[in-house]
Amino acid sequence: MFLWYVINIVRYVALAVLFAVMQAAPPVPRQTANNPAGTDSSPQKQAAPNQTPRQTEAAVANSNSQKESKHNRCLPALKASYLHQAFSPQNLSNWVLAGCAIGAIIVGLITLGTIKRQTSHAETAANAAKAGAEAAKAQIEAIVAENRPWLLLDKIEPPYLIPAEEVSQEERRFAHCRPLIKNHGKTPAKVTTLWTRLKSGENPIVPPYDLVEEIGRAGPIPETYIFPPGDTKAIDTRLQSGFISAQQRDDVLKNKVKFLWFMGFLKYQNTFQVGVTTEYESRFCYLYETRTNSEEPFWTPAGPPEYNKAT
């Protein structure tokens, strides 16, 4: 934009100066059809018809020499006449116009320089304000991240695997496990989604559920609840089949042909976050390991890496 203004001002000044010069140009002598060069064509200058060729060439050379001498004598007068015409009173208005145009371009350049400096200062101030806003935003995000809630799986208690036929009617209970979730963060969390499963499978490597697909299908819980910082909550998760039989228990603990899996995830939010609410997620996938030489089976993380992570 700045360059466009300068180019237009220079163009107008050049047109004004050209107009002034054209107005000040001296008149050119008129030429006639019989004398197109404006030279003397009097009869006494013409060669006589009865002259010899040598006499004619000498006469022509003498005439050209006289013309050149006359032109050289008239050149200072022509220059003086041109300058006189250029600075004559009738051309004074043209020179005033050219001077005004030159003054206008000077004022225009000064004005444009001032505008450019002001624009530069405004851009500097805007950039500084933007940088300050970004720094403030980063500081707020750092504070939120430092004080956010962290809902993590603390531990899983040994599963309840007592067959119903081995206890009285009053003592019968569904086979289940008790994972304990703890808020390791500094602020309360609002739990919005919760999904857990306890299931026996035939493969100790591949989990019985695709956890990523389950996350995509799961919806929010009917009623959200607040999880205070430092608090621990048990999430009772029963076996998918409900009661467990003696054969099913022995296949897991003794025969080791069945394998018990606990899987789940939960989503939650920071109750103190202002503006856009960030949703966090914790996933867990554990195998009840019975194939080692340890005295008691134990829960251990298993499955793909993305099945055990927290964001």
**Would you say residue 51 lies in a domain?**
no
Contacts of 85 (CB under 8 A, 6+ apart): 24, 25, 26, 91
Hunting for tokens 């499963």 — which residue is that? 197
Contacts of 84 (CB under 8 A, 6+ apart): none
All residues at 6 or more sequence positions from 102 whose CB lies less than 8 Å from its CB, including other chains: 13
Model confidence pLDDT, tens digit, residues 273-295: 666 778 999 999 999 999 998 88
Give the CATH number of the domain where residue 296 resides: 2.60.40
Whether the Cβ atoms of residue 172 and residue 244 lie closer than 8 Å to each other: no
Residue 31 counted as domain residue: no
pLDDT tens-place string over residues 39-98: 444 444 444 455 555 555 556 566 666 666 655 666 566 556 666 666 677 677 777 777
Q: Please tell me which residue, 241 or 193, carries the higher pLDDT value.
A: 193
- Domain membership flag for residue 36: no
Q: Which residue has the higher pLDDT, 18 or 172?
A: 172
Query: Is 213 inside any structural domain?
Result: yes
Q: Examine the fold and report which residue of 118, 146, 174 is the final residue of a domain before the chain moves on.
A: 146
Q: Is residue 300 part of a domain?
A: yes
**pLDDT value at residue 265:** 98
Range scoring the smallest mean pLDDT among 111-115, 173-177, 229-233: 111-115
pLDDT score recorded for residue 119? 83
Residue 283's pLDDT is: 98
Lowest mean pLDDT of 8-22, 132-146, 172-186, 242-256, name the range: 8-22
Q: What pLDDT was estimated at residue 61? A: 61
Statement to judge: residues 162 and 302 lie in one domain = yes
Could you give the percent of the chain with pLDDT greater than 90?
Answer: 47
Structural domain including 267 reads 151-307
213-263 confidence digits (pLDDT tens)? 999 999 999 999 999 999 999 999 999 989 999 999 999 999 999 999 999
